Amino acid sequence: MGVHRSAAQVKLICGLIAGSDAWLEQGAERLGEAFGPMDLRSDVFPFDATDYYVREMGEGLRRQFVAFARLLDPGELAGIKRRTNAMETEWAQGDPGAKRRRVNLDPGYVTPAKLVLATTKDFAHRIYLGEGIYAEVTLNFRKGGFRHFEWTYLDFVSGRYEAFLLAVRRRLMEQTAGDGHPPD
């Protein structure tokens, strides 16, 4: 029989997609206010693996990731996604000339074994968390790197985020002494 125990703490990350560096900066600043200090920040990458958001957000989109210093229980992910969705809505409503969204926020978390992203869209490989939110294991860690699945978004498949995700994983391992639980 299995023994119930609390989940290991995870490292919160958030991907930001926006049409300008100014909106990426404003988004990161707001995320810091909501979820605490950031301890890692990725380079800014062109978001060009898909045109999924172009109609809504415009051309020339960029993506950046941030990671937060505070570790959290993975059960918090649904509430975090709902908060980031509210931020997106607030920014869109705050500018009457804006397209629907100025910033797209994609929260998730890194564990020693995987990257999990939150979404509002159900699909065969996604698990319902509650509050209208699903979770997807987007990448798994094997043989020293992150590996994709058949459903992984193309920009993650490209490997361009690998260095950042490996840095997040290393930082998590330092924070938890490698076992997923904070050191005593």
Q: Can you give the three-state secondary structure of 150-179, one letter per residue?
A: CCCCHHHHCCCCHHHHHHHHHHHHHHHCCC
Q: How many CB atoms lie within 10 A of CB 54?
A: 15
User: Which of 75, 83, 132 is closest to 106 using CA atoms?
Assistant: 83
Tens of pLDDT, residue by residue over 86-96, are 999 998 876 65
State the DSSP H helix or E strand holding residue 56, giving kind and residue range, or none if neither.
Answer: helix 54-57
CA torsion sign, 86 to 90 to 96 to 97? negative
Q: Where are the domains of the chain?
A: 10-175
Instruction: Write out the chain's pLDDT in tens, 184 residues.
Output: 888 889 999 999 999 999 999 999 999 999 999 999 999 999 999 999 999 999 889 999 999 999 999 999 999 999 999 999 999 999 887 665 555 789 999 999 999 999 999 999 999 999 999 999 999 999 999 999 999 999 999 999 999 999 999 999 999 999 998 565 544 4
Tens of pLDDT, residue by residue over 15-38, are 999 999 999 999 999 999 999 999
The per-residue pLDDT of the chain, averaged, comes to 92
Cβ atoms of residues 71 and 10 within 8 Å: yes
Question: Thinking of the domain 10-175, which architecture would CATH place it in?
Answer: 2-Layer Sandwich (3.30)
Tens of pLDDT, residue by residue over 138-155, are 999 999 999 999 999 999
Confirm whether pTM is higher than 0.85. yes
